[in-house]
Amino acid sequence: MTLLEAFAGLIQPLPFYTISLGVFLGIVVGALPGMTGGMLMALTLPFTYYMTSSNAITLLIGMYVGGISGGLITATLMRIPGEPASVVTTLDGYPLARKGQPGRALGLGISASLVGGGLSWIALVLLSPPLAEFGLKFGPFENFALAILALVLISSLSRRSFVRGLIAGLLGMLVGVPGLDETSGQMRFTFGIDSLSAGFNLLPVILGVFALSQVFADLMTGDVKVQRVNADRKGIFISVADYWIHGWNMLRSAVIGIFMGAMPGVGASVASIAAYTTARNMSKTPEKFGTGSEEGIIASETANNASSGGTLIPIITLGLPGGFTDAVLLAALQIHNLQPGPHFFKNNTTIVNTIMAAHLLSHALMFVMMVLGSFWIVRLVDIPKRWISPCVLVLCVVSAFSLNGRMFDVWTMLAFGAVGLVLEYLRVPLAPFAIGLILGPMAEGQFRAAMMWSNGSLEPLVTRPISLTLLLFAAALFVWPFLRERRAATST
Amino acid sequence: MSKNLTERRADIVFAIVLMALGLGAVIVGMKIPPSRFDPLGSGVVPALMGGGLVALALLVLASALTSFKIGDGDRLFTGLDDMGEETPSLPRAVGAFAWTLIYAVSLEFRLVPYWASTFVYMAALVLALAPHSKRSYGMTVVVSGLCAVALDLIFRNVLSIDLP
């Protein structure tokens, strides 16, 4: 299937309704504080069992794009970033809206989101084939080194402590250990519990650690009292001249977003900060930033949407997730017996092209829905947490149960919900946990295959150029936080 | 008790739990014998992970005891905490978690039909979180009932899942 055929497939009634529903739900959830697109995707996973792989992925991509974009609405009109990726948008979006231009503020953000998404789609289409081709050169040593690098990278770039990031990654990997070992056929770490013979299912663990713990954490805070800007749609359509004026800013921010999105552990939030800071540093009027600067809104929203395409590149070409939401996407593919990586890219052109087409179409739908419905969607924030939280909890339980029709998965989810809450309390970042959970079995399988191939010798890890480069990079990232702390300590 | 002291105590307990977990993984992993086709054995990698956890736990412990920081000051965002009035309530979260456990027990032992236990669970949780009034009681009963019945119908009839 070609990319054009994938687009044609998506505009058929069922796929089109599916992707539209995904984008709409993503925008709504993205706008709601405390709910994230990733959470919505995790809750939706069980329903995708009953869909074709293409429709399931299409729905999730729609939610992914909608989730990133929806945060803009509440960030601009209420000064509440619905998604972490929209935090920077509040700095200029809200002040501009307060100055009597809410339509203009939203219009700039929505248009920038579309441009960022479009440019990142071009990068996705152009960069994925050569990267997948390069990935085909990887053997077990390289794949193992890549998994280690991804884990170290996401730990070192996590918002919190590097050591705690590594701990989260290792804990995630350990969760993948129990059950039947496919290489040796031995049962391990099951402690006589029959239900553990197939290991922990990904979905209850993900639902517990990310969705459930988030809901309980939310319950610790009451409903947020906010002051909303009055709705005024005037200016929501920006002119061609605006695109021309902000063109360079959009392009630069998109490149930053794509690059940041492609790096494991960085993602949309950091991309928007980096683009915003760069825009301020290169602006002729940096003093306007934070007071309603149009450049600030453009930079932030272009970058966070551009990161969506960047994130998909390592997922479909190397099977590397960059964060929690990516881990859910990868889990969805695995549920449908699809294992992303270089071979997947080459042999599953139907799914790959559907993902690419869905990414662009989602951005187009997001643009239409946000332009037409932003001022309606913002009213949903009035729904109090006391309604949302119980609904999410009930959905979590029924989703976990429906996976295999057994209560063991519900108990697993509840246990990992408690684990997630405790880890949050201890300032342990959760994204590396997801990466460890997904990459752990892959890293172990590759490591053992490599050891069998080399008769137990670790030497090829450092004699093969690609694995050596990846490991050196991982080592540098490992040492960097310690050097930085040391430098900071000596300078004070 | 200062926040710093509370955090340090929590870190010490965390490090001890991690060490126990890591050591457990090492011991159980090393007990697994290698197989004929896999000379490394299926226990080696978990044992290595366990060893890694122990090493990292020692770092956390050292950090908690000596105030030696490793990347703890990396927060990218501060100053956005004035978005609204937040009233932290740990009892509310713990209570909701305990109530969810009771709900799961009722599902496990199939004490009542799914829709009934879901209705009771939702209604009680909403009422516990909401300011009480005649209107809120009515709303809660209607919305919880609709949600419970809708979920039962969707999962049982549309998705053909035998709910507890």
Report CB contact under 8 Å: B70, A181: no
Query: What average pLDDT is seen over chain B?
Result: 81
Q: Domain boundaries in chain A?
A: 3-491
Give B29-42 pLDDT, tens digit per residue. Answer: 998 888 776 777 88
Q: Which of B32, B40, B29 is nearest to A451 (CA)?
A: B40
Global pTM reads 0.80
Q: Does A447 contact chain B (CB < 8 Å)?
A: yes
**Other CB atoms within 10 A of residue B109 CB:** 10
Determine the Cα–Cα distance for residues A36 and A26; give it in Å rounded to an integer: 8
User: Is A384 a residue whose pLDDT tops 80?
Assistant: no
**Residues in chain B closer than 8 A to A71 (CB atoms):** none
Residues 6+ apart with CB under 8 A from A369: A23, A24, A27, A66
Residues 6+ apart with CB under 8 A from A205: A175, A412, A413, A416, A437
Determine the Cα–Cα distance for residues A115 and A111; give it in Å rounded to an integer: 6
Q: CA of B1 to nearest chain A CA: how many angstroms apart? A: 17
- Indicate the length of chain B as a whole number: 164
User: What pLDDT score does A160 carry?
Assistant: 59
Residues 6+ apart with CB under 8 A from A277: none
Q: Which of A54, A113, A4, A49 is nearest to A399 (CA)?
A: A49
Q: CA of B127 to nearest chain A CA: how many angstroms apart? A: 8
Residue B74: pLDDT band with limits 50, 70, 90: very low
Structure tokens at A61: 């991509």
In degrees, to the nearest 5, what angle opens at C-alpha A69 toward C-alphas A160 and A235?
130
Q: Does A80 contact chain B (CB < 8 Å)?
A: yes
Residues 6+ apart with CB under 8 A from A351: A53, A54, A57, A333, A338, A344
ipTM confidence: 0.85
Report CB contact under 8 Å: B42, A173: no
Preferred mutation among B3, B14, B35 to probe A, highest tally of A CBs within 10 A: B14
Could you report how far apart the first and last alpha carbons of chain A are, in Å?
60
Structure tokens at A427: 């300032």
Residue B76: pLDDT band with limits 50, 70, 90: very low
**Residues in chain A closer than 8 A to B89 (CB atoms):** 219-222
- Residues A96, A111: contact at Cβ < 8 Å? no
Structure tokens at B103: 């709900």
**Other CB atoms within 10 A of residue B162 CB:** 10
% of chain A at pLDDT higher than 70: 95
User: What pLDDT score does B75 carry?
Assistant: 39
- Residues A159, A485: contact at Cβ < 8 Å? no
Estimate the crossing angle of helix A37-48 against helix A324-335, to 10 degrees: 10
Report CB contact under 8 Å: B92, A164: no
User: Is A81 a residue whose pLDDT tops 80?
Assistant: no
Give the three-class secondary structure for A179: strand
Query: What is the DSSP secondary-structure string of A99-145?
Result: TT-HHHHHHHHHHHHHHHHHHHHHHHHHHHHHHHHHHTT--HHHHHH
User: Could you say which DSSP state residue A35 is in?
Assistant: -
Report CB contact under 8 Å: A488, B11: no
Residue type, B17: V
Mean pLDDT computed over A387-413 = 88
Report CB contact under 8 Å: A161, B125: no
C-alpha distance from residue A74 to each of A31, A67, A229, A370, A415 (Å): 6, 12, 10, 12, 33
User: What pLDDT score does A318 carry?
Assistant: 85
Q: Does A390 contact chain B (CB < 8 Å)?
A: yes
Query: Across A100-250, where does the E strand assignment appear?
Result: 179-180, 187-188
- A492: which strand partners? none
| Residue of chain B with shortest Cα separation from A51 | B159
C-alpha distance from residue A477 to each of A154, A166, A180, A465 (Å): 10, 12, 34, 18
Mean pLDDT computed over A207-211 = 85
Instruction: Please tell me the least confidently modeled range out of A184-193, A266-275, B82-91.
Output: B82-91
User: Is B3 a residue whose pLDDT tops 70?
Assistant: no
Q: CA of A2 to nearest chain B CA: how many angstroms apart? A: 33
Structure tokens at A431: 């994204």
Report CB contact under 8 Å: A220, B45: no
**Other CB atoms within 10 A of residue B7 CB:** 16
**Residues in chain B closer than 8 A to A186 (CB atoms):** 32, 35, 42
Give the three-class secondary structure for A156: helix
CA of residue A274 relative to chain centroid, distance: 17
User: What pLDDT score does A123 carry?
Assistant: 95
**Residues in chain B closer than 8 A to A217 (CB atoms):** 93
Q: Domain boundaries in chain B?
A: 1-78, 83-164
Strands A179-180 and A187-188, sheet pairing: antiparallel
pLDDT top residue among A202 and A5: A5
Q: Does A451 contact chain B (CB < 8 Å)?
A: yes
Structure tokens at B22: 């890591």
Handedness of CA A340, A345, A347, A353 (dihedral sign): positive
**Residues in chain B closer than 8 A to A220 (CB atoms):** 88-90, 92-93
Burial (Cβ within 10 Å: 0-12, 13-18, ≥19) of residue A171:
buried
Preferred mutation among B129, B137, B140 to probe A, highest tally of A CBs within 10 A: B129
User: Is B82 a residue whose pLDDT tops 50?
Assistant: no
Query: What average pLDDT is seen over chain A?
Result: 85
